[in-house]
Amino acid sequence: MKRTLCRVFSAVSLLGLPALAGAAETSVDSTTILRIEQRDNGSQKDTFLPATEFLSLDATRLADGNLSFHFYGWGRVDLIDKSFNDDRAAGSLTYGYLKYRFKQANADIRLGRQFIHDGINNEQVDGVSAHSDLPYGFGISAFGGANVHTARIFGENSDGKGDGIAGGRINYRLGGMLELGASGVYESKAPTLQQHTSGNHRLIGGDVWFSPHKVLEVMGHTTYNTETSHVAEHSYLINIKPVQHLVLTGEFNEQNDRSYQYSWAMFSGTALHATPNGPLVDAGDTSRNYGGRASYQIAKLVEISGDYKHYKRVAGNANRYGGDLKMGFFDNMLRAGGSYHYLDAGPGFAITPNPSGSYHEMRAWGMFDSKSFTGAVDFIDYLFKERVFNEKQAWEVLGSLGYHLTPQLFLSGDVSYGRNPDFSEETRGLVRLTYNTTFSTAGGKK
């Protein structure tokens, strides 16, 4: 039943294709990537040569001018070794839907495969969604349909999701200073898996955005898992701009491991990380992180920032801190920067056999962008406090070069080389061809 619903909704969304020839405006983006990668782990070498195509299409002002069609998908073919799982070819329709915007109440309706980002809801659905403003600052939105099944779990014939899903949000907005929302999502009963634990995806929650003055902005949300009868997550962010060019940011995030990951099929119902000596993290434990960031624009094209974050969980605690420098030259055609961060991890934080998860992270990069050429170089290095598989560091250097063949056609390539605990040598490269254009009703380019 669930596969039938997915096919029906996806097919309905593609019904707009015949109307594209008469569309007032159609935009096409195509990116073709040929990736070359060689991995050497000391015992064998693998060579990968996958060809991937990304295609997006947007047609607006269809029919009476209020209808539009939106599509994005990708496909991959492996030309040598298999780069992922056991399939030499794969692909996916990321989204494909028709959208009709009404002339009143800022209302719209969508039909087809789509993403829902509204309040606490972040879902991919084959179905229908609608939104409308209401009098006195209120608003309402709703969605429903079939879940999109894309994940593959070894040893299972299901990804742990239920057949159907529905949800919505009610909100209140007071001018340009406050918005309050209440939302929820209800998924049909999750299937029984053979080797994994999967729970029902059913949440309710609230979100807030508050900005009484341009110097202050607060936003965040809280979710409650109705299956576990426990708060699943708190996530809040505050931005303060006390003086010009200075931005102070603070954040707080807390998750109850069991309630937050309850519907994830790879989450064990008894322990997040099981070992012969017992669980490292119990399913009922709470993970928390909080920190801040300060950034200051020294000059028009020069910005410096520093940040700090503390991680706390039963398995161990850690602190990460450091800073970034970004610079621009020649009207920002040339950009460069560097950063340093240190993760000071306590015992057990890495949740691996490694004695310590602490490391230094250093990065330096540069980018050049003109009407004809683009270029970039990026170097990143990790220095481990304790050796990982007898390696003291992991590093990689990447270079990129691109050329505009025409205003619509862009050819570029990347190459990288590095060494890390997994591979004594790792070389990767890709060639990318990007096509972007917009056609008017008469078929002319814009």
Which DSSP string do the residues of 35-91 spell out, in sequence order?
EEEEEE-SS-EEEE-EEEEEEEEEEEEETTTTEEEEEEEEEEEESSB-SSTT-SEEE
- Per-residue pLDDT tens digits for 288-321: 999 999 999 999 999 999 999 999 988 789 999 9
Position 201 in a domain: yes
Q: With cut-offs at 50, 70 and 90, classify the pLDDT of residue 23.
A: low
Position 97 in a domain: no
pLDDT: is 276 or 119 the higher one? 119
Whole-number Cα distances in Å, 189 to 143, 165, 227, 260, 330: 18, 10, 11, 17, 58
Q: Which of 33-47, 84-98, 168-182 has the lowest mean pLDDT?
A: 33-47
Position 354 in a domain: yes
Domain that holds residue 145: 39-50+103-274+281-440
CA distance linking residue 59 with residue 443, whole number of Å: 12
Position 77 in a domain: no
- Per-residue pLDDT tens digits for 80-123: 766 666 678 888 999 999 999 999 999 999 999 999 999 999 99
- Per-residue pLDDT tens digits for 352-381: 666 678 999 999 999 999 989 999 999 999
Position 25 in a domain: no
Q: With cut-offs at 50, 70 and 90, classify the pLDDT of residue 275.
A: very low
Position 423 in a domain: yes
Per-residue pLDDT, averaged over 150-169, amounts to 83
CA distance linking residue 446 with residue 383, whole number of Å: 50
- Per-residue pLDDT tens digits for 237-261: 999 999 999 999 999 999 998 888 8
Position 166 in a domain: yes
| Tokens describing residue 390 | 């007898």
CA distance linking residue 281 with residue 273, whole number of Å: 6
Whole-number Cα distances in Å, 162 to 1, 2, 387: 11, 8, 44
Residue-wise burial string across 135-148, b where 16 or more C-beta atoms lie within 10 A, e elsewhere: eeeebebbbebbbb
Question: 414 CB contacts (<8 Å, ≥6 apart)?
Answer: 398, 399, 400, 428, 429, 430, 432
Confidence (pLDDT) at 278:
44
- Per-residue pLDDT tens digits for 396-406: 999 999 999 99
| Tokens describing residue 298 | 């020294």
The total number of structural domains in the chain stands at: 1
Report DSSP state, residue 24: S
As beta bridge partners, residue 31 has 54, 434
Position 218 in a domain: yes
Confidence (pLDDT) at 284:
59
pLDDT: is 272 or 56 the higher one? 56
CATH value at residue 436:
2.40.160
